[in-house]
Structure 1
Amino acid sequence: MSSAARPGRRAFVTGAAAAALAAGAGSSRAAEPVGGNLPHFHPALKDDLRFPLAWGTSPERDFAAWRRAARAQVEELLFTDRQDDTPYAPEFTAGVRSGGCTRQSVTLSLTRYERVRGSLLTPHGRGPFPAVLLLHDHGSKFDIGKEKLVRPWHDDTRLASARAWADRYFDGRFVGDELARRGYVVLCLDALGWGDRGPLAYEQQQALASNLYHLGSSPAGLMAREDQRAAAFLAGLDRVDGRRVAAVGFSMGGYRAWQVAALSDDIAAAASVCWMTGLKEMMVPGNNTLRGQSAFHMLHPGLSRHLDIPDVASIAAPRPMLFFHGGQDTLFTADGVRVAHEKLRAVWRSRGAEERLRLKTWPEYGHVFNSAMQDEVYAWLDAVV
């Protein structure tokens, strides 16, 4: 028997290989070409995903009970300790007054495994202040993390890189600095692989993920747990009004923003820019997710057997949530965004809280968080936090 005829040899089909298989004589089922790294039977796998734990599909009709069950399912699949009570033991640098706020570095233990350094901005004036947990993107750029959103003031070696990133995605603004000027305490920390915890090389991401899986953890689970702990740390600072803490992020940071809102009661509201979609509609030929690599930072193995992506975000209902999408954003299909927005709207409507959900597509923009989008987010935050 030739290797091409052995069972299982058609598990992945792309390009010329797919065409050859489709034309092969004696084949009981012609394989059709697919783009990316999908198995030829991927439609059947999609059909198997029914998201039985989703609100409205789950037999549970008490929303509070549903939230507890759905959150518990997500927590189980984070592959990290659910109750990590490691003392934060924060170490603060001396404050530097600049740009309408006091800038500090803070080093703390988000888990028992590692100390993490972040940027902490405090507005001038008398607190306690509202606060924002600011979550950086992926961008396949690892030399900077927190510096993508907060202008570095203590490390000139990263300033040029940070400015170039702000010019590319944020109309030259540093989002954290803008928020601090508006009266918010801002905390922004490096995720594993970025800034002080990197730099990770693009092609190393899959190896990092597989090694963490072997060790009983995952990149996405570790990130989720750290963001959860960061939210609790921020809400507990004396300078912060713990009832008025929001999460804000762009791209992967947008994913992190709605995720931490779903997993943490310390988050009162969340704004997610350029990261929301239905899972099935995202897993289509040509989508960036099919390349792996960056996908591992937003992948909880097994979760799709229970909940769709917007179902997880819905755990945060009925708190105020904002989701912006760029109509020219090639990372998310129009169908995926539509499906996600419909699911989100249905959940908030079921709670009598549709006015707390802000869904908007900006048809003229791509994968950016430009000044026009920022200004709307800031105004929204001022109204809900």
Structure 2
Amino acid sequence: MPKLFRKIGPALLAGLLTLPAGAQDYQRAGVADNMPVFQQALKARLTFPMAWTPQVKDLPAWRSAGRAKLWELTLQAPDTTPFQPQVIAEIDRGSYVARQVVFNLSADSRVRALLLVPKAAGRHPAALMLHDHGGKFDIGKEKAIQPWGDTALDAARLASSQAWADKHFSGRYPGDALAKRGYVVLAVDALGWGDRGQLTGDTQQALAANAFNLGSSLAGIMALEDTRAAAFLASLPEVDARKVAAVGFSMGAFRAWQVAALSDDVKAVVAANWMATTEGLMVPGNNQLRGSSAFNMLHPGLLRHMDYPDVASLAAPKPALFFAGAEDRLFPAASVQTAYGKMAKVWRAWGAQDKFDARLLPGGHVFPQAEQDAAYDWLERQFAQTPADGGLRAPR
């Protein structure tokens, strides 16, 4: 008898050779549809213990704890680097001027941004325009604000951005449309876009992995930089700091409600076409499962604590407007409605149900002129009644 068999023993060996057929079953594959085959077990563990529930009595404490956890998971250190802005170019656009301004976005990055400023005297409401992803990296800030076009590079970006506006925004620039209404508007490239790129679809994963290798996080860098951009905008002498909004489409919408949750400088949020529950997004065929582009919106471990609508709810009771397209294939309508319902309960708990507006509208993954105008009308109504404390009061 071989040495191994003598060691096991004849009786035990006989038992092993006569196991029931079912006992020989094992996982013959580990991955299906880019998901582990045990995905349902993992999903069952996502209980979101830091989500708001009716048992929450101290709303400011709940919000503070949620914000602290989100900051922790961004892997970013606090940053109070002086902005040290410098205007390097300016053109006249009728009722407002467009500027190229360079400033310290963080301790690590000095960037060129686009800034629109009304000519009228005094302080003005303001909007931080947060650009989308779209798999299009040659332009970032130029998706929201019309670029110059006086150099070969700018001319190429102007053509590219106009095509993007035609596809998603009814042919106009959302930032310039808001500037015509008397708003100061700021747009900055996210890491990998425009001046700070260019990424490609394939290199996103490498950038995200290397950010982790450096003890950081791609999504965390974006979150920190957006809060810094909001602080810079609120600090400008032309801006009424009580009336600063974050406005975004697609990934920009994610960024808008995230920065509203993280930053006291943001007083209101308009988010078009990025909101749903994790359960509704993690389904076969959904864009969320494809990997690379999702890294900009994935904080390690976040979903062990909060779902996406829970994070957005940390912005309450600030005025918040959400749009979704009923035919948007990226965000299933049923999941969107579930997320809206969850958030509505939080604003209601604050006694601020009149500050929360969530709309499921006909159409797909676009932010057309009619929706822009509706959003800007809504924003003006909110800022017309802004209290002195910026709307962060706890319910009585």
TM (norm. structure 2) is: 0.88
Identity %: 53
2:262 maps to what in 1? 263
- Among candidates 147, 150, 153, match of residue 142 of structure 2: 147
| CA distance 1:99–1:42, shift in 2 (3 Å) | farther
Instruction: Provide the rounded CA distance (Å) in 2 between the counterparts of 1:95 and 1:382.
Output: 27
**Which runs of no fewer than 5 residues in structure 1 stay unpaired?**
1-23
1:27 Cα offset (Å)? 5.9
Q: TM-score, normalised by structure 1?
A: 0.90
- Report the alpha carbon displacement of residue 124 of structure 1 after superposing the two structures with TM: 1.8
Q: Is the 8 A contact 2:106 2:225 kept in 1?
A: yes
1:45 aligns with 2:42: yes
Which SS does the other structure have where 2:240 is aligned?
Answer: strand
Correspondence 1:69 to 2:65? yes
Measure how far apart 1:135 and its partner are.
0.3
User: Could you say if the C-alpha distance between residues 25 and 141 of structure 1 is closer, same or farther in structure 2, counting changes exceeding 3 Å?
Assistant: farther
Indicate the residue corresponding to 2:278 in structure 1: 279
Q: In 2, distance between residues paired with 1:206 and 1:32?
A: 24
1:99 deviation in Å? 3.9
| 2: CA distance, partners of 1:85 / 1:130 | 24
Larger radius of gyration: 2
Q: CA RMSD in A?
A: 1.8
5+ residue gaps, structure 2, are 1-20, 384-396
Structure 2 residue aligned with 1:105:
100
More moved, 39-48 vs 84-93: 84-93
- Partners of 1:135 and 1:311 in 2: how far apart? 21
Structure 1 residue ranges, 4+ long, deviating more than 2 angstroms after superposition: 24-36
CA contact (8 A) 1:192 1:198 kept: yes
Is residue 208–residue 218 contact of structure 2 (8 Å, CA) maintained in 1? yes
Whole-angstrom CA distance in 1 between matches of 2:370 and 2:216 = 39
Is the CA contact (8 Å cut-off) linking 1:35 and 1:286 kept in structure 2?
no
Distance 1:33 1:222, change over 3 A: closer
Structure 2 distance, partners of 1:156, 1:119, is: 15
Q: Which residue of 2 aligns with 1:380?
A: 378
**Closer/same/farther in 2, CA of residues 34 and 339 from structure 1, 3 Å limit:** farther
Deviates more, 1:86-95 or 1:209-218: 86-95
Q: Quote the Cα distance in structure 2 between the aligned partners of 1:164 and 1:253.
A: 18
1:28 to 25, 30, 34: 25
Residue in 2 that maps onto 1:17: none
List aligned pairs for 1:113-124, cutoff 5 A.
Answer: 113-124=108-119
Which of 86-95 and 31-40 deviates more?
A: 31-40
Give the whole-Å Cα distance in 2 for the aligned partners of 1:219 and 1:42. Answer: 24
- Opposite residue 43 of structure 1, the aligned amino acid is Q
The one-letter code matched in structure 2 to 1:111 is S
Mapped pair 1:339 → 2:373: no
1:207-254 deviations in whole A, cap 9, x for unaligned?
Answer: 100000111111110000000011011001000000100000000000
After TM superposition, give the deviation of residue 85 of structure 1 in Å.
Answer: 1.2
Distance in 2 between the 1:336 and 1:73 partners? 25
1:55 paired to 2:52: yes
Q: Give the distance between the partners of 1:303 and 1:151, measured in 2 at CA.
A: 35
CA distance in 2, matches of 1:115, 1:333: 38
Question: 1:136 touches 1:146 (CA, 8 Å); kept in 2?
Answer: yes
**Residues 129, 248 of structure 2: 8 Å contact kept:** yes
Asked if the contact 1:326/1:361 (under 8 Å) is kept, the reply is: yes
CA distance in 2, matches of 1:78, 1:202: 23
Instruction: Answer whether contact 1:34 1:285 (CA < 8 A) is retained.
Output: no
Cα distance in 1 for residues equivalent to 2:156 and 2:39: 46
1 CA distance for matches of 2:73 and 2:96?
Answer: 39
Equivalent residue letter for 2:45: D
How far off its partner does 1:375 sit?
Answer: 1.1
Alpha carbons of structure 1 residues 25 and 203: separation in structure 2 relative to 1, 3 Å:
farther
Q: 1:337 to 1:32 in 2, by over 3 A?
A: farther
1:250 aligns with: 249
Matched with 2:392 is: none
State the partner residue of 2:307: 308
